[in-house]
Homo-oligomer: A and B are copies of this chain.
């Protein structure tokens, strides 16, 4: 089979690798039908985070189960499944508390002996804990498949931003970040009943997608300009919820500036160079701060019915589709911000 391999910064190659085989009775083998490139893949692609050359890549995928180990009970050959961006056992205390991202036996795709999601097949550890079966699947419905794939990471992460930011019926929300996660945070906020959703975006195409996903107001400014715009539109009160979907010092400042006293900041942008938070900053504003990688495995069953009904469709975040053989072009296009998110068909 073929799989994408990281060969060093800026270099992704598709190579022939051995077909996966069940090594443990809790595993499953999945033939990958849809996969994609994540914004977080760009960190190692750009050489900004360490990754071993020769390692498999990709952590968002769905596919059809080919085989399962003897002890797998909830997944069968022939099932269409979505894999969350980490594998989890589903049985430890953290998993039972819904914190699958912090599973005691968590495994990362493309590391610790795990296959990557950007390839033709993957061996899935802890298949019962990890995989979610999509019921009544019509494999031919390409649009639905594209709407389901984001559950793996980007939609669950946008939803986590909204959950951590305490978005609820009637909330005024500002989403900082117009990447795929920010756009999904808009859709998730809309789903949770937000009354008004500001999207900070200086890119016309992304702003248009944000409006399609539910943004009521586009803030075509950054930093202090974005803060002023939100405050002006809310009688200088600020938004109830600010969703941080970038991870920079500036985006954090925008959230602090745009959120109201007693509001909440939901944080899902992986922080890079964000300074420590003075305790007085929390205590003098009553602003809540919460976030991290999303417990996607925990959220998927909750979000799935709305995706299947067509009420939650973020398939348009995939602005480009490439075959696995051309995946290097996809990395390049996302690195150069020419595409929001690239879908890979193995």
Q: List chain A positions with a Cβ less than 8 A from chain B.
A: 93-94, 97-99, 101-102, 164, 234-237, 240, 252, 260-262, 264, 267, 270-271, 274-280, 282-293, 295
**Whole-angstrom distance between the alpha carbons of A285 and B290 in the complex?**
9
Asked whether A283 and B262 contact (CB < 8 A) given A93-B236, A289-B290, the answer is no
A249 to chain B, nearest CB (A): 10
Asked whether A94 and B261 contact (CB < 8 A) given A277-B276, A286-B102, A289-B288, the answer is yes
Residues of chain B within 8 A of A285, CB atoms compared: 102, 292
Residues of chain B within 8 A of A236, CB atoms compared: 93
Residues of chain B within 8 A of A252, CB atoms compared: 279
A261 to chain B, nearest CB (A): 4
Residues of chain B within 8 A of A102, CB atoms compared: 261-262, 285-286
A21 to chain B, nearest CB (A): 33
Are B289 and A289 interface neighbours, CB within 8 A? yes
Could you say which of B98, B164, B278, B283 contacts A292, with CB atoms under 8 Å apart? B283
Query: Which residue on chain B has the smallest CB distance to residue A249?
Result: B279
Residues of chain B within 8 A of A271, CB atoms compared: 279-280, 283
Residues of chain B within 8 A of A101, CB atoms compared: 261, 286
Could you say which of B262, B279, B290, B293 contacts A276, with CB atoms under 8 Å apart? B279
Q: What 9 new A-B contacts, CB under 8 Å, besides A97-B261, A274-B279, A276-B277?
A: A94-B261, A99-B262, A267-B282, A267-B283, A276-B276, A276-B278, A282-B290, A282-B291, A290-B290
